[in-house]
Structure 1
């Protein structure tokens, strides 16, 4: 770690600390994640999902893991520097994004997601905080701590992802979900980009389903029999709601945008288009130049380096910003939902923390760096879920 100078600590969470650093050789800014758990062998390190997935993923819209270092039994991830995340970008806006900007953001998210799915992984925690930005022009998917291989065998844990972006099959505790849960989340994010307000801001898992029903309408048993089986298994009855036209909720979206969001937000995961199919929708066929700006071409990615010096002192941690958690909590409170309709505020009966994100995420930081950021960025990467 003597190749890097630490500039400041950005956050501290259950599983690790994140620091902003600078390469002594090149002067390049980086984000460094120092895991709190000790690792006594390289085999332990290489089995982490973050490492296993990112070693295989090199794309302009996927954040880069530059280096993995184990030193004195401490594990460090070195990531490329990104200025902010999509949540921060939306929170700081004082006016709505033009549709051309939204189209380019969504296009880049889907380009990265289709690449991830093509290479056999699904993300499981797609949300604005895990989409890193250099302004609205460049967007990259981050935080692969919950990623799973598509070919891996169920059952999977149902206790994943941030609630507001959680697909119905996960809310209903399916154990055999797959990549369509990421497409659902992108649909939620796209709607939020238009309104700067979350589409389904549930206060619990049950309330989340109520919010979805209020927008999409109650799903018919013939349209999603598997969903009714899942609901029956957990003694849940769908509330009877009529759908709300997305054009009413998102009046600044074009008809092509509304059509795309409707398809991504299908109750039945089998009816959602894949990320590759979404990219072929008329919404993107408008003659607009889409993708990362010319000044940010994807460079050839060298192999992830691993280093294990013998007797170097571990990276010292700087004083953390004690206000970050409180400030972000306050800003999220100001991030009001689209609708203020009184709903049953039942608990799902699940144990564990239940804020606007559940147990897999912790604190929202005002600035986020590659998928490790400890807030809503340090996920259960070290857990064997």
Structure 2
């Protein structure tokens, strides 16, 4: 029976240490949290600048709700688009140096909307093998031919582009890879896009607000600009609120507004969120002190950690993965940390390739040096190298 098979499949996930567990926070997002009734020091969130519980954003959200109400009432192209949405999109476009921006309710919706709007049957997508699941799903939804090149391997990508006869080509990459923390070779990718007449879509979910001057993102850090570029920024990570946007040349964004199904066929985000995001953008722009503190914590963690069997992957970003390998061992280490009051997620397949289970340590500007030393010490002890 169908239900019996489903129960057996669930049991198999448990046996292979692949079953996911959802925990419930009882406090606002932040390093010091109460989770499932326990006081924990958390290294889980993508709230890189510590803005999710920032009083300024809370006040802006409250004022937005008082001004605009709780919901938008309809999709953006019917009657659910408000003047504050226009203000936010204009501000986002200017912030990342593009002509125009279009907001989506989530980053997943942005990626699954933008990719199929740009390419379809008979076209070709060239995607980094470690791209986020939303980019993979967007590629599959497009029905274009999908070519996945080895992680950051621009030589293989060049060969694939050179042998492609597709009318339209799209290169798709994360900027900061969410489970490895490394940064894509963006300048080389744009060079290939120009040589082979391709679009380049960059998902800067984990770079927006953190990288580049004033947190303007990975493309600004690399000094890149082109009409071929489509920039995806996520607003629920460093920005501390919710949503996402795509930015680029004005006509390209207009086309996306006309064709991106997750934008067209969903209720618009509450306008109060746009008020909070406008306040967030101001804090990001003025947030050099937060970024300096975050950078110092990254350096401290990498200095304090002394591993022999496990591997701290190379990363200059707030994502600091500790590669363990075996699923069961990764779970055991995460459970041991939990018992010590440290909340660090164990990441296993299919999120990462088989044999590369890891702890995904996420540092934020809301952490202290003491917090980071506590985690590094616990990891050193658990690995047997105190």
Give TM class, smaller chain.
under 0.3
Under a length normalisation based on structure 1, what TM-score does the superposition of the two structures give? 0.20
Greater relative contact order (Cα 8 A, min sep 6): structure 1 or 2? 1
Larger helix proportion, structure 1 or 2? 2
